[in-house]
Amino acid sequence: MSNEVRFKQQQTYEREPARRVFATELREATYHFKDGEDEKSPAYVLLPTGERCNRIFIIGSMTQKEKRGEQNLFYQFRVADPTGIFFVSASSFQQEAMQQVSRIEPPAFVAVVGKPSVYETPDGRIFVSVRAESVTVVDKEMRDCWVLDAAENTLKRIEGFDQSKDAALTQEHYPALDLKVYRQMAYEALRQINL
């Protein structure tokens, strides 16, 4: 196998970094797109602070868990951070995540890596959920560190918004965008932790 072929294969399977994003910002994301025409082209959710994300990393309190389905079992659960709630699912397509979720009883602090998706309901409402790839129980100290990271990442996105490659796309799809709202959200989240 040539080095060029090996390099292309490595590029094909490289995972994108998981972005730290608060629930309020993710739930306000309404625009999603594919980067390319290929069936396997990565799909992104465009965050209002101007960054595309294919995967996210969240930590919060699992407040509710529900097992659903008959033949195709899956779990739906909620994870609360200081700004709001993430709606997360784990199905047989993510066996490891589903098994991890089956062993967790809420309330518990959990770390979730997953893929965000934007759906439109028949009545036109936009719904954002996360398909879990992994779910791990963590402690409050880890949750507080995540809040610090998520706030720092949010503030960096805001500060670098004008230099973002997706700034124009963001302004096009979020015409009423007010970045001050997300700055305030990050500061409010920081007020709720003790480090």
Domains of the chain, earliest start first: 19-191 (2.40.50.140)
Q: What is the mean pLDDT of the chain?
A: 92
Classify residue 26 as left (phi > 0), alpha (psi -120 to 50) or beta. alpha
The closest alpha carbon to 129, from 79, 82, 73, 61, belongs to 79
pLDDT digits (tens, 9 = 90+) for 47-77: 999 999 999 999 999 999 999 998 889 999 9
**Could you tell me which residues come within 8 angstroms of residue 55 by beta carbon, excluding any fewer than 6 positions away?**
15, 16, 17, 18, 19, 113, 114, 115, 116, 133
pLDDT digits (tens, 9 = 90+) for 146-176: 999 999 999 999 999 999 999 999 999 999 9
